[in-house]
Structure 1
Amino acid sequence: MTSTLHSLILVASIAVSAAAKANDAGTDRLHVIELLFEAADVVAGPALSECTLSAGTAATCFSITVRPLPKDRVPGPWCPSKASDGPDKSGIWINRGHTIDADGAFMKLLPDIYRDDEWQIVEPDTGTVRVTRSREACAAAARPDVDPRYNNFCVQCLPDYVEDGLTMTYTIPIEPVPLRSMFGNPTDERTGPAGVGVALDGVRLDGSAPIDAILDAHTIAPFDDCGGHVNLHAGYHYHAVTGCTGAARMTPGADAATIGVAMDGHLILSHRLADGSTPAGLDRCGGHQSRGEYHYHAGEAGSNQILPCLVGERGCASSDADAGCNATRPERRP
């Protein structure tokens, strides 16, 4: 199997000998990674570092520290303010495997959509949508055990609520290490709280949003049209890929544009192929080999699953740039 970084090297037209040792090859590899993340708001790196991957393998990783916001656009909007607000003043939501506009009309129809008369996010007398409008309200509503005061709210956390100086450091293996079962057979692992990877714009590609828990509290936590929203601990992050993840690159010989790098070091390509069709023959993790190169394809935006699992040992994601990487430790949501 051709290595993922080898394909990145092709992107930058850099030839690296497979027998090259750390210094020369490392310099070229870091240059390729730097080019790959040129759309990101990079604070430090990329740099080579030693790491321990999720199954205990000692490996060489690259580390890159980024601010968790795209630098070429302002995220949002999320919640409409009034029942009359259209899609231009709201974000999107996931319902029955599809993305839909989370506009004022949607908020008004929630009792019918979910067949539950307890939904009342829209004030019946004024048409005002009940929206979290402070950092404190965001903290109380955007958590697994929603504060009962914020039942029947549209939950939005603005980028301004996030602590100044928040960064995320991603430590990802230079060469993917396949996961093996105790019998030596290929296996995979479910994606965890640290997310599935990082987009080319430096924004975290997250795991599935806890939609059932959100709905149980009679809340809606929309994504913007780019599939992202904010939490106070990790900043802006994606739960869906809709085409905003940075300057997608076509790797020579690849079947679709690259949109990010998974935590196991494999590339993540767009959901659709270059010809507009969807890829066939994907494994349970959403990946396949194409012309000798293994890569993932991001899930459909309405699936609430950018990637369901990883086939390689994962690295680390942390809001502490000095934490190092030992991915055998239990994952914590940043």
Structure 2
Amino acid sequence: MSVTAIGLSACGINNDKNTTETEAIIIDNTSPNTTTTTVIEVDPFNFEGGALVSAITTQLCTLSNGDETSCYKIEIAGAPANHEIGTFCPNTITSNADEAGIWFDGNGEVYDITGDFILNLPALYNDSHWQLYDESTGQVNITNTYASCDGAARPNVEEQYQNHCVECSIEYVNGGISQSFLIPITPVTANQANSVGRSNIGIALNGVVLAAPAPVDAILSAYTIAAFDDCAGHINLNEGYHYHGEAGCSQTQAQSDGHAAMVGYAFDGFGIFAMLGSNNTEPTDLDECRGHYGDTRGYHYHAASVSENMFIGCYKGETAQ
């Protein structure tokens, strides 16, 4: 089959906002029954002002199937350009939902980390070893120093920081960790879906990493709660601030036709959109990767609910190596 790709590419593009839509139309020139499939290219103008720390450039890259193609090199700031980083841990066992963040463990629930939540941990996880507060003062055990962040915000939590609510300050990483990523300009559908593994899966349009599922089993086994803010993000010293779920804060590109808002791009170049559209319903035809095809947006993903501790189920396309 002979195909023709028509689209836009960019070199040295800055991060000023622009509403230009970029797409490639793949046309079968040989079949008598010509079919057209819309493939939406990565649009560098979708990123929020302040989300990037340098101009987007293009370079040759090798995909996971061994093919060479053109990629955007995108360097994100590592801190959200459109919202403040919120609170994480409650200070006392009387704190309410407005005074702390959230927790989710992939079991279908999102919990406000209130004082009552801290008190109820032994019952929630059916283990009497949970004790995240000082009984004499009601103060919650919080990792509130660089050293305690370093010892607790990791899968192998240091013993002295067990039974703590884990939070780290963005100041520990100088306001954010910038990272560069290669994303194919024109997505290439893989012959079979590829696992997302335990690595980051994409980037939000506001300059934040979309991370792999949080290692909740390791966290809970150390009797810690690695608190998220209300945007489903938290901080460690290796990744800085990153999201583990789509809680609405990364929905920066509203869609005029009522489709779910755009969140970012997966590393295979396909767009990631929110779970729900303006009618407050989730698409019913999503595949195992949480994606489907549409005439306007081509193949694209819809993020899972925050309670599922994930964004997408797998990669539909080839990623840059």
Task: Give me the TM-score of the superposition, normalised by structure 2.
Answer: 0.85
**2:225 counterpart of 1:220:** yes
* Aligned counterparts, 1:243-322, within 5 A: 243-250=248-255, 255-291=259-295, 293-315=298-320
1:176, 1:312 within 8 Å by CA — same for their partners in 2? yes
* Greater per-residue helix proportion: 1
Deviation of 1:151 after TM superposition, in Å, equals: 0.8
**RMSD of aligned Cα (Å):** 2.6
Q: Who is 2:130 aligned against?
A: 119
Deviation of 1:289 after TM superposition, in Å, equals: 0.8
1: CA distance between counterparts of 2:150 and 2:302? 33
The structure-2 alpha-carbon separation of the partners of 1:254 and 1:193, relative to structure 1 and needing over 3 Å to count, comes to: farther
Amino acid at match of 2:189: P
The structure-2 alpha-carbon separation of the partners of 1:258 and 1:156, relative to structure 1 and needing over 3 Å to count, comes to: same
Q: Which runs of 5+ in 2 are unaligned?
A: 9-17, 28-40
* Aligned counterparts, 1:1-334, within 5 A: 12=20, 32-33=43-44, 35-95=45-105, 96-163=107-174, 166-180=177-191, 187-250=192-255, 255-291=259-295, 293-315=298-320, 327=321
1:40, 1:200 within 8 Å by CA — same for their partners in 2? no
Amino acid at match of 1:271: M
- Partner SS state of residue 235, structure 2: strand
1:140, 1:146 within 8 Å by CA — same for their partners in 2? yes
- Partner SS state of residue 189, structure 2: coil
Higher RCO structure (Cα 8 Å, ≥6 apart): 1
1: CA distance between counterparts of 2:113 and 2:232? 12
2: CA distance between counterparts of 1:152 and 1:232? 20
2:5, 2:25 within 8 Å by CA — same for their partners in 1? no
**Which deviates more, 150-159 or 49-58?**
49-58
2: CA distance between counterparts of 1:5 and 1:273? 27
Give deviations 1:19-71, integer Å, cap 9, x for gaps. 9xxxxxxxxx88x41x2002443111211111112232211011111210013
2:173, 2:240 within 8 Å by CA — same for their partners in 1? yes
- Partner SS state of residue 289, structure 2: coil
Q: Which runs of 5+ in 1 are unaligned?
A: 20-28, 181-186, 316-326, 328-334
1:4, 1:176 within 8 Å by CA — same for their partners in 2? no
- Partner SS state of residue 207, structure 1: coil
The structure-2 alpha-carbon separation of the partners of 1:82 and 1:4, relative to structure 1 and needing over 3 Å to count, comes to: farther
1:207, 1:307 within 8 Å by CA — same for their partners in 2? no
2: CA distance between counterparts of 1:275 and 1:2? 36
Give deviations 1:155-198, integer Å, cap 9, x for gaps. 11110111567311121001111222xxxxxx111113431111
**Which deviates more, 297-306 or 283-292?**
283-292
Amino acid at match of 2:207: G
2: CA distance between counterparts of 1:5 and 1:272? 29
2: CA distance between counterparts of 1:157 and 1:190? 30
